Structure 1
């Protein structure tokens, strides 16, 4: 038996045969020239191939059942028809006499390298460009499109990493689990796996060495892949299945064993998401991502358009709390009318609340729309600004919210500076919400998209947990100074880890927000501990030297995880 270990990103245990993604499309030979084809005919053939690939991706987007999957496919389809890319490739055909597949390869490769040089989100987009490059070259060669292998029986899919379009088109009925040798906890693979509830492991180095057809055991909670599974592994799978069948749905109340209330909210991005979360029993919305109104547009949506969208979401949670995050543009969400994609380091650039400095007015109009939607429904609307680093930013945002008529302003804690000055920030706003994805990235100085840094980019890092504790302590100081009740929530991916949820509560966090699928397991584990135990486990985690040791130490003290198959 051989055991490989990566980063588990979605719990679940399965046994199945390994099937690898097919080899990538080979690079056309350098200098490959036109043969018996006029340059204008070759350009026309390239344009036709691009139109066919774009149409196929759009068709898949329309057929996708998951919104995130549809959005990824739509984005990739747009890239397949990118005018600048096709124009540059066409120029290589006419000026240098290159065959269309070689011209496209060179043009796309240059584009991808430019994206990588920008870093952050733009570097991630390089993989999307290379995905489109492979699809177009395959079409020009008359080869099948790259993508998920087709098999009659379910299988465990393995790859170096999955392109967004590949991840978006996988069929959960056929793919038992995902295992990649690269990728990070916040990669497309990880995010979509969580949304689908598909067992998944990223950064499992060495998995590419396993031959197709190898039977493997996959544990998406511990991050383990074992070859030659035996009786022990089969019982682990069986226990997971029994626990999953017995696990009750979330009853709409997050509570510890001693009766301590820990409201469990959902992260949503659309009205459809909100209705799904409400049906799952979420006690409210802890993070409404408002980017859905803005992405994929060349201009700012009108106030009226925004009011309509927000009202539909608020209506799903009448009489319940809905925390709205204002536009988090920049870095991983560039917008042509708002952000500068030429920034050398977008993750540290003008993003989130900072965009109001460069393009004033967008935020004020969004707050107006949120306030109008608030008036139209009975939801309890809170509003928070992303990417806050200083108390004066919190003060100015609170003033903007008040001008719009919004009663409960707050901010995201995503930077170490916000964590260590939480007491000063909370003199101006009513609450803070910890975005553990970015907080981990900035605390550890590790790009959250890089699989090679997955070990650092882990919310179990003791340094990150100490940032959470500093934030809670800051809230308590603000309260002691007369600021009144100050709520500290978590809306990052960390809240969806049942064991880590216990630690967060032990550190003093009041509320947790997560994907709807995580509500039931998190609630079940929280019901098994009292507040004193949670505090003890939080201290245990903080005292460890590494993220792996912190997770292992806490998990060893929570036998309920094994009972529930988590």
Structure 2
């Protein structure tokens, strides 16, 4: 269990401010260089995460804050530590996406302070034997570079399903259970543990029979997941398209290699988040065309810019909001700055004309039919052929029949749908147990959307992290979902799981789960149906 550095002392500054400021500057650059090197070596999702961490070490605002603290008499380590703590608290207060990056900021601070001390940065202990890694949380740089020959599974006490720890674990096909409250008080180094990522459980001190059963199941699943790549389907031949979530065009090749039948969620934020101004129509057209041409002839679902107060962009909306998760974000922010949305839709229409991919475009955070009519109407006006809505707000499920009279399709973002349904911030450890897409309230909303889609004969996909859970994927199919999109590394496991059930069996399992009284009971009911 990796331990963090001890906080710096409060000893006063014992050197000149300029010299210490330069020493911090050198340490920051060294950490940025190290993270960028790890990013280049890691590739994929890990590369994006580590490059974002490197930018946190190069932010000039940090150096300015450090200088002010040095001038106030703080030593270099304390000034750096407190500067990052201030930014971390700011991100945490913003909630949503920005709060999820607070842990990444802590890791950068630890690495810089370690440089200043001349010691190794905290990291994963080296082991000659295979092990299960248990920690309070894990830094992105450590998760991205785990030795997969030795690391059997990962368990953390903090974090949620959308933390970088969880995202990177999925990208490496590493079994992981996050947000296990009280974990560190119950486990010790060398203790025998079974981690079941399918059920989200951690069993301490299992007996020999339980270990043997777990090892047998693991061997069987590894064999199934390594089977030849085929189209997603159930045991009775019912087609179930398996798509990939991608963050930039450079992710396309890997997704195709792993068997993605298309893209179920293309996140366009990479073009916007590091810019002082919105990208031009020409810049966006080039990026979208590159992706669409990589998936020639296949379905590609693009989400327009998902930003707002929780992902502040000076050219969109950087106003402070007390509760940004419920503020001007998603379609609300785009509607308030319609020129940005028009430019993006124009670029997507241009890319559509330049490729033979089947382009689907959707807007985030759609709440009702009026917002649907606005977005679909604007998309049609600008030349888009297939325009839909993301289901992340519970109200869209209640009004699903109305929405699907207008939208060509709906795609369910389970991360936010869960957060808003259960009023549980997806990054807060104190409510991590509620941030669970297995909760029957969430599943019933998905059923409402699936039923409405069937009545309207329109597609209802899932592009949230829930689709990457093989057991839950079966339930989602039974609830009426018509496509599943996930991290490309999860495709093999989900493909293998779907082949074990017919559509009728998936529906029966879903019906059984809908009667659960908690997320834990829902998992138990789904698991019980496997042996009935």
The normalised TM-score by structure 1 is 0.88
Distance 1:341 1:199, change over 3 A: farther
- Corresponding position: 1:427 with 2:399: no
State whether residues 276 and 314 of structure 2, in contact with CA within 8 Å, keep that contact through their aligned partners in structure 1. yes
Q: Which residue of 2 aligns with 1:158?
A: 134
How far apart, CA to CA, are the structure 2 residues paired with 1:476 and 1:346?
Answer: 34
Provide the secondary structure at the position in 2 that maps to 1:455.
helix
Distance 1:421 1:457, change over 3 A: same
State whether residues 28 and 105 of structure 1, in contact with CA within 8 Å, keep that contact through their aligned partners in structure 2. yes
Aligned counterpart for 2:277 among listed residues 293, 299, 302: 299
Q: Which residue of 1 aligns with 2:65?
A: 88
How far apart, CA to CA, are the structure 2 residues paired with 1:246 and 1:73?
Answer: 32
Q: Which residue of 2 aligns with 1:544?
A: 516
Asked which structure has the greater RCO (Cα within 8 Å, sep 6+), the reply is 1
* CA deviation string 1:203-248 (max 9, x = no partner): 2344424333334333322322433663540342144124412445
Distance 1:156 1:251, change over 3 A: closer
5+ residue gaps, structure 1, are 1-19, 480-484, 561-566
Q: Which residue of 2 aligns with 1:48?
A: 26
5+ residue gaps, structure 2, are none
- Corresponding position: 1:175 with 2:159: no
Q: Which residue of 1 aligns with 2:422?
A: 444
Distance 1:125 1:501, change over 3 A: closer
Q: Which residue of 2 aligns with 1:505?
A: 477
Q: Which residue of 2 aligns with 1:211?
A: 188
- 5 Å-filtered alignment, 1:52-201, equals 52-65=30-43, 67-94=44-71, 96-201=72-177
How far apart, CA to CA, are the structure 1 residues paired with 2:40 and 2:237?
Answer: 46
1:446 Cα offset (Å): 0.7
Q: Which residue of 2 aligns with 1:455?
A: 433
State whether residues 148 and 169 of structure 1, in contact with CA within 8 Å, keep that contact through their aligned partners in structure 2. no
1:167 Cα offset (Å): 2.3
* CA deviation string 1:281-324 (max 9, x = no partner): 32222211122222322222222222222222212222221111
State whether residues 202 and 451 of structure 1, in contact with CA within 8 Å, keep that contact through their aligned partners in structure 2. no
Provide the secondary structure at the position in 2 that maps to 1:144.
coil
* CA deviation string 1:358-384 (max 9, x = no partner): 322111111111111111111111111
State whether residues 460 and 482 of structure 2, in contact with CA within 8 Å, keep that contact through their aligned partners in structure 1. yes
C-alpha RMSD over aligned residues: 2.2
* CA deviation string 1:177-213 (max 9, x = no partner): 2111122122211111111001111123444243333
Distance 1:60 1:258, change over 3 A: closer
Q: How many residue pairs get matched? A: 530
1:433 Cα offset (Å): 0.7
Provide the secondary structure at the position in 1 that maps to 2:194.
strand
How far apart, CA to CA, are the structure 2 residues paired with 1:389 and 1:267?
Answer: 23
How far apart, CA to CA, are the structure 2 residues paired with 1:450 and 1:258?
Answer: 41
1:443 Cα offset (Å): 0.4
How far apart, CA to CA, are the structure 1 residues paired with 2:511 and 2:213?
Answer: 33
Distance 1:516 1:41, change over 3 A: closer
How far apart, CA to CA, are the structure 2 residues paired with 1:165 and 1:457?
Answer: 25
